[in-house]
Amino acid sequence: MKRQLKSRPADDAAPLQDAVRSALEDGKGIDITFLDVRQLCSFTDTMVVVTGNTGRQVNALVDRVLDAAAAKGFKPIGIEGRESAEWVLVDFGDLVVHVMQKDARQLYELEKLWSELPADGVPSETV
C-alpha cells in the first residue's frame, strides 16, 4: 500500500509552531530543532526535538508547550512518557514534539533518523 503524503502547506501550522518555539525557548530548552518531515512520513508534517537537563525540566517544558498551545486553541491528541520524563512525546497531529533528556536524545538520534531521504527523493512504501 502506498502512503499518501500530505499536501497542505506548512504555513497552516505556523501559529502552533510559533507557540511551541516560544514555550521551549522560555523554558530554556536546549538545541531546539524543527524538522520538516512531510516528504518522509504520512502521520505528521513537523517534528520538534528539544533537550531538557533533568526529568523535572523535561516535564516543565512539556507543561509550557501544552499551555502555549492551549492559549492558541490547540489540544494534543496524545502525550506519552510523562512518568519517566526521559522522553516525552506530545502529539498535535501535524506537529509532534519530542522533549528528551540528553542521554535519550543521543541514543535515538531522531534528527538523523528523520532527516535522511532516500537518494531518489521518494520515501519507501510501507507493506
Q: Which residue has the cell 502512503?
A: 3
Mean pLDDT (whole number) for 68-97: 96
- Write out pLDDT tens, residues 11-32: 567 999 999 999 999 999 999 9
| Residue 3 per-residue DSSP state | P
- Write out pLDDT tens, residues 49-58: 999 999 999 9
pLDDT at 8: 40
CATH fold group of domain 13-113: Beta Polymerase; domain 2 (3.30.460)
Residue 6 in grid coordinates: 500530505
Give the residue extent of every domain in the chain: 13-113
Percentage of the chain beyond pLDDT 90 is 71
Mean pLDDT (whole number) for 86-109: 96
How would you class 95 by CB atoms within 10 Å of its CB: exposed for 0-12, middle for 13-18, buried for 19 or more? buried
